[in-house]
Amino acid sequence: MVKRLIFLLLIVTSCQHSDLLIIEGSINNSLNEVSGAEYIINPNLIWVVEDAGNDNHLYGLNKEGKIIRDITIQNAENEDWEELTSDKDRNIYIGDFGNNNKKRGTFRILKISNEDLSAPGANADIIEFTLPKGLKSKNFEAFFVLNDLFYIFSKAADKTEVFKVPNKVSNHIATKISEYHFKGKGFKITSADINFKNHKIVLLNRDKLIQLSDFEGDDFFSGQIDILSFGHNTQKEGVCFENDSTLLITHERKDFEGGNIYSFNFK
């Protein structure tokens, strides 16, 4: 296990982008706790799930927030579904690894085949993992898949720890590869995505994005780190690339606030 505290060799910049956060649509009122998002070009849908206490459904939305597809995951309950990602074959993965009370010992990733995304129901392939012996339980809400490995980011106020797990149906022990301490305490990571073409990574927070680029291998915090501020603070829970320069962002609905789909443009 590699332990690192990365401070001096990184370039950290900050800039305001609140004027670029554009409302594209309002998510269907039946979905109040959307906790993850992933965009797949064909069939041009934003796939979302809700978190703990909600149904075991995977929903495909258009950009206006209307439910176009509703798939029941027939062999897995929603213990705490927190995140979505996809691979180059357009299979979708559900991160069932939310852990607010820090008591979970086993975490799951559910693979939904691309061939099942047009069906009313699907059975998931289930990948399970535990943390290395001696590590305290973590809360996870962000991951992506790269080179047939899942990279999973822990959620804490002032740091994130990065673990990797093979994309293979089995019971795995996750490998810790790094950790990064932010300056300040407003950095709870709620979602992540990677652009396969240019290998840029984005990490989502309530009021900002952390963009990672020019890194070496899977040492994601070894290169350029840009902090992109939205200028307002809401419960943003899902981020995904629509294309090389545009992100789609979702957040939970609370009372009369939230429940929107945003686009965010950056260079």
Alpha carbon distance 222, 202 (integer Å): 14
Alpha carbon distance 140, 195 (integer Å): 21
Instruction: Classify burial at 9, counting beta carbons within 10 Å of its beta carbon; exposed 0-12, middle 13-18, buried 19 or more.
Output: exposed
Task: Going residue by residue through the chain, which has 267 residues, state the pLDDT in tens, using 9 for 90 and above.
Answer: 433 333 323 333 334 444 578 999 999 999 999 999 999 998 899 999 999 999 999 999 999 999 999 999 999 999 999 999 999 999 999 999 999 999 999 999 999 999 999 999 999 999 999 999 999 999 999 999 999 999 999 999 999 999 999 999 999 999 999 999 999 889 999 999 999 888 899 999 999 999 999 999 999 999 999 999 998 888 999 999 999 999 999 999 887 778 999 999 976
Return the residue matching tokens 């002032």: 158
Alpha carbon distance 166, 223 (integer Å): 24
Non-local CB neighbours of 110 within 8 Å, separated by 6+ positions: 73, 76, 93, 94, 96, 124, 125, 126, 127
Q: Where are the domains of the chain?
A: 11-265
Q: What is the pLDDT of residue 6?
A: 34
Q: What is the pLDDT of residue 254?
A: 80
How far the first Cα of the chain sits from its last, in Å, is 34
Q: What is the pLDDT of residue 250?
A: 96
Looking at the domain 11-265, which fold is it? Neuraminidase (2.120.10)
Report the SS3 class of residue 19: helix
Q: How far is CA 60 from CA 43, 117, 204, in A?
A: 9, 9, 21
Alpha carbon distance 245, 212 (integer Å): 14
- Token couple for 57: 């459904």
Instruction: Classify burial at 224, counting beta carbons within 10 Å of its beta carbon; exposed 0-12, middle 13-18, buried 19 or more.
Output: middle
> Backbone phi, then psi, for 95, in 5-degree steps?
-90, 100
Q: Considering the entire predicted model, what is its pTM?
A: 0.92
Instruction: Classify burial at 32, counting beta carbons within 10 Å of its beta carbon; exposed 0-12, middle 13-18, buried 19 or more.
Output: middle
Q: What's the farthest any 2 CA atoms get from each other in the chain?
A: 51
Q: What is the pLDDT of residue 19?
A: 56
